[in-house]
Amino acid sequence: MTSKLPINLKDLLRQRTVEGERIEYKAGWNPDAVIRTLCAFANDFENLGGGYVVIGQDCDNAGRPIFPPRGLDEGQLDRIQRELLQLCHQIQPPYFPILSLERFEERSLLVLWAPGGETRPYKAPRAVTAKRKDHRYYIRRYSSTVEAKGETEREVGSGLAEEAPDLSAEALGRQMNVVSGPVEAPLLRNVGLLFFNEEPRRFFPVTQIDVVYFPEGAGGDQFEEKIFVGPLSQITRDAISFIERNYLKETVIKHPDRPEAERLWNFPLAAIEEAVVNAVYHRSYEIREPVEVRITGEDLVVLSFPGPDRSIKMDDLRAGRAVSRRYRNRRIGEFLKELDLTEGRSTGITKILKVMAANGSPPPEFESDEDRSYFLIRLPVHERAVVTPAGTEVTGEVTGEVTGEVRRLLEALTGEMRRRELQEALGLKHEDHFRNAYLVPALDAGMIEMTIPDKPRSSKQRYRLTDKGLQWLNEHGGAQ
């Protein structure tokens, strides 16, 4: 029989280890007392790593184990395990210790290893056999399991460090609740692996965000793909930033009857942020499918697996009225909230609806199947944001006004020129500044065009004046 425990139980008993904050002996199976103690270890109020319940081992008045132990009858073991499985559901939220059957001095012992829980605080019934359950919070005080009351009850599960720089990595991880387990066998929680490991895909394959752009539409043969891998917070921010830089365009519409110009976006950034963060928050990291963002000239789609919990009605979700009571990744949500990536109050869908309406965009679409095997958020492009195959935009109205930077570019452009040639002709050193202040505004205004519009990032790409650009130069005395 292989032990599942991170301690050597035989050595611990031989040393006559006294009952304390991390170990409790039970001469026999006592469901009420065992469940209360498991609840206390799960709450791990002092962040000691939980504890152990040894069933079948009696002790003296000083809390020292008595040898030989009383042990458990072989016929009891299966019944106790079945009963324990049912009773652990009565802990709220449900909590299940690690069970190991041990042999010591020819006696059978049942040992329950109870690390600090993932979803603290926990509460358990005073009496599991009572018809009417009275749930209370329990913690360990020295060698006793006691009910948490008053200020202690409000602090269950807390223990923030004031001087993080002075803590070891393990101690800091325990304070952040990303490290659990006893001091003899610290365990990095799943949320720690996802947020603080450089390669979470080693533990959760396909932890990534794929951004795919289809310049010819979803049915086209061409596409551009960017895959983001790494810690969850990093890939979430990087993917959103990449989409913002490359695929979000503002259209400015000038009206002859009023001085104010109308500004709109093909896709509002805030809606994309909420859709991507929602997918990262609620996807299953056991399913080997990435979060996928698909972009075309018609829409932006965020796809994740699986779908919303069945307790949420799709009609309520589409109306922005859905409130989830079950969270697939509660700890991930807590970290995303602390990083200001989400509010964590079931407001994401409502916010998407609001920002799409505020931008004047068509309403978003939310889709899943009957089995809730996937969840799709579709953001339609703004109807007046005219996007060319090259990914640039055309304003809703042609005007005779251009910026000084665009004018300089038009005057410098002769024939067909590469980006680098244009930049050198203008005496500009920084590519980002050239693109943002000169090249993109000229493309947006329809003054210049790409020679290979279907491949905007082609190494053979060149730029030339459009008929509109030539007309503008002729009218303003700048034609060459």
Distance CA 18, CA 459 (A): 74
Question: Of 121, 154, 187, which closes a domain?
Answer: 154
Residue type, 268: P
Residue 150 resides in a domain:
yes
Say if 326 falls within a structural domain.
yes
Q: Are residues 20 and 93 in the same domain?
A: yes
Would 386 be classed as within a structural domain?
no
Query: What CATH number did the domain enclosing 45 receive?
Result: 3.30.950.30
- Is 128 contained in some domain? yes
Asked whether residue 359 falls in the same domain as residue 235, the answer is: yes
CB distance 209 to 235 below 8 Å: yes
CB of 120 closer than 8 Å to CB of 43? yes
Residues pairing with 251 in the sheet:
264
348, 466: one domain: no
Q: Answer yes or no: is 30 within a domain.
A: yes
Q: Are residues 13 and 120 in the same domain?
A: yes
| 232 shares its domain with 147 | no
Q: Give residue 69's domain range.
A: 9-154
**Helix, strand, coil percentages, rounded to 5, for the chain:** 30, 20, 50
Provide the pLDDT for residue 432. Answer: 74
Q: What is the pLDDT of residue 472?
A: 86
2 found inside a domain: no
CA distance 372 to 305: 9
Single out the residue in 154, 182, 216 at which a domain terminates.
154
Do 402 and 254 sit in the same domain of this protein? no
CATH number at residue 251: 3.30.565.60
Pick out the chain residues at pLDDT < 50. 157-162, 388-400, 479-480
Instruction: List the structure tokens of 357.
Output: 């309406």
Domain count across the chain: 3
Shared-domain flag, residues 228 and 260: yes
Residues 224 and 364 in one domain: yes
Residue 351 shares a structural domain with residue 467: no
CA angle 83, 13, 180 (to 5 degrees): 65
Domain boundary among 350, 380, 410: 380
Specify if 113 maps to a domain. yes
Residues 310 and 355 in one domain: yes
Using the structure block, give the residue that is written with the tokens 């394959």.
205
pLDDT of amino acid 397? 40
For position 304, what pLDDT does the model report?
95
Residue 332 lies in a domain: yes
Domain with residue 446: its CATH number is 1.10.10.10
Cα–Cα distance, 388 to 255 (Å, whole number): 22
Rounded to whole angstroms, the Cα distance separating 443 from 197 reads 42
Scan for tokens 């909420």, then name that residue.
Answer: 274
Is there a single domain that holds both residue 231 and residue 355?
Answer: yes
> What ranges in 17-111 are assigned the alpha helix state H?
31-43, 74-88
Domain co-membership, 42 together with 114 = yes
Question: For residue 185, what pLDDT is reported?
Answer: 78
Please compute Rg for the chain using Cα positions. 31
